[in-house]
Amino acid sequence: MSAEKILSNWTKKSYQPVYWLEGEEEYYIDVLMNFAEHALLTPEERPFNLTVFYGRDAEWASVINACKRYPMFAERQVVLLKEAQHMKEIDKLESYISAPLNSTIFVVGFKGKAVDKRTKLHKILQSKAEVFTSVKIKEGKVHEWILQLVKSKGFSIQPKSAALLEEHIGNDLSRIANEIDKLSVNLVNKKNIDEDDIEKYIGISKEYNVFELQAAIARKDLSRAITIINYFAANPKAVPIQMSLPALYAHFSKVYAVYGMNDKSDTALKPLFYFNTTSMQQAKDMMKNYGYDGVEKILLLLHHYNLKSIGIGDTGTPGAMLLKEMVVKMML
């Protein structure tokens, strides 16, 4: 079952006795846990009927005892076990999960992985619990996810602004959601998020960012590329090389993929670049200025300098120096 379906059921007051939330993507687990903690019970019911445990400190016997209590002045109680992946002897919960109370909603957050399918616990969960597995979002889907999240909050966002968020943060959905929340709180009498808002409230420069470096490389504008990299050097925490190289590779690999397409019309290219006309134009500039061999060379250089950035074949050259060296070789 999806996170959206679970939330929908909870909103309709349709509950299961046990929910097991697991997987690598923490964002959806946190969303469900937050809803369970603050919305499954009324404010009047919570003091007597909400119990929260943390896996690192929780004893399995205490968790089971809490689950077996009956609600006070309410139809049900809620027991949350957060960070359950750190809990010792978590398999001891099997006895309760096998025969849970209908008056208890037991929600377990098991982050970073899934329960081993070879274990008895896994088999019990499959038959007795509502299991949600939160999978890391694919990088190619982040842009669309940003647009949908912004829309769900009653806002719209310019494609380039969404691209800035994606390239600055990557696929960390929790961080992206926090930044969008920050924007929604600060924007007054305005519903469209633009680059100025991204710069003012999130701190991503609209002139000196990976998106602009990408554009400079596509145009073979070495002077502009070096200026942007100098900004990176002066603000190493804003755009570290470990962030910029994957972002550049993600875009340039799409450009490389265009050469394998029979239809290279704007209509065919738009979905590849998530309907971002600016990115699509950058791709066209790059193909014109570099050709197939040049784009292939750029991808190889990105791979080579990514290895250098993590210390393979390099003795600690600063990230900005590696970037400068790389873009010069790209444009030769």
Domain co-membership, 196 together with 255: no
Q: What is the model's pLDDT at position 143?
A: 85
Q: What is the model's pLDDT at position 44?
A: 95
> What's the rounded Cα separation, in Å, for the pair 325 and 102?
64
* Domain finish residue from 150, 170, 202: 202
Total domains in the fold of the chain: 3
Domain co-membership, 255 together with 166: no
Domain co-membership, 124 together with 72: yes
Domain co-membership, 169 together with 271: no
Domain co-membership, 189 together with 228: no
pTM of the full structure: 0.77
* Domain finish residue from 134, 169, 192: 134
Domain co-membership, 285 together with 174: no
Extract the tokens encoding 259.
């050469």
Domain co-membership, 59 together with 96: yes
**Among 33, 28, 30, 34, CA closest to 1:** 28
Domain co-membership, 7 together with 130: yes
Q: What is the model's pLDDT at position 237?
A: 80
* Integer angstrom CA distances of residue 143 from 183, 228, 240: 17, 23, 21
Does residue 213 contact residue 330 with C-beta atoms inside 8 Å? no
Extract the tokens encoding 219.
């145009």
Domain co-membership, 267 together with 316: yes
Q: What is the model's pLDDT at position 140?
A: 73
Question: Mean pLDDT score of the chain, rounded to an integer?
Answer: 93
What type of residue sits at position 275? Answer: F
Domain co-membership, 230 together with 196: no
Domain boundaries, position 76? 3-134
Q: Is 175 exposed, middle or buried (0-12, 13-18, 19+ CB in 10 A)?
A: middle
> What's the rounded Cα separation, in Å, for the pair 197 and 184?
10
User: Per residue in 123-179, pLDDT tens?
Assistant: 999 999 999 999 988 877 888 899 999 999 999 998 888 888 887 888 889 999 999
Q: What number of residues does the chain have? A: 332
What is the 3-state secondary structure of the chain?
Answer: CCHHHHHHHHHCCCCCCEEEEEECCHHHHHHHHHHHHHHCCCCCCHHHHEEEEECCCCCHHHHHHHHHCCCCCCCCEEEEEECHHHCCCHHHHHHHHHCCCCCEEEEEEEECCCCCCCCHHHHHHHHHCEEEEECCCCHHHHHHHHHHHHHHCCCEECHHHHHHHHHHHCCCHHHHHHHHHHHHHHCCCCCEECHHHHHHHHCCCCCCCHHHHHHHHHHCCHHHHHHHHHHHHHCCCCCCHHHHHHHHHHHHHHHHHHCCCCCCCHHHHHHHCCCCHHHHHHHHHHHHHHHHHHHHHHHHHHHHHHHHHCCCCCCCCCHHHHHHHHHHHHHC
* Domain finish residue from 134, 159, 179: 134
Q: What is the model's pLDDT at position 167?
A: 79
Q: Please, which residues have CB within 8 angstroms of residue 8's CB and are 6 or more apart in sequence?
A: none
> What's the rounded Cα separation, in Å, for the pair 81 and 233?
43
Chunked in runs of 10, what are the mean pLDDT values of the chain (332 residues)?
93 96 95 97 96 96 96 96 95 96 97 92 95 88 90 91 84 92 91 92 90 94 96 87 89 94 91 82 94 96 94 90 96 92
What type of residue sits at position 166? Answer: E
What type of residue sits at position 315? Answer: T
Q: What is the model's pLDDT at position 168?
A: 81
Domain co-membership, 167 together with 117: no
Q: What is the CATH number of the domain that holds 55?
A: 3.40.50.300
Q: What is the CATH number of the domain that holds 228?
A: 1.20.272.10
Q: What is the CATH number of the domain that holds 149?
A: 1.10.8.60
**Among 25, 207, 284, 327, CA closest to 272:** 284
User: Per residue in 244-284, pLDDT tens?
Assistant: 898 899 889 999 999 999 999 999 998 888 777 888 899 99
Domain co-membership, 10 together with 129: yes
Give bridge partners of residue 21 from the DSSP assignment. Answer: 109, 132
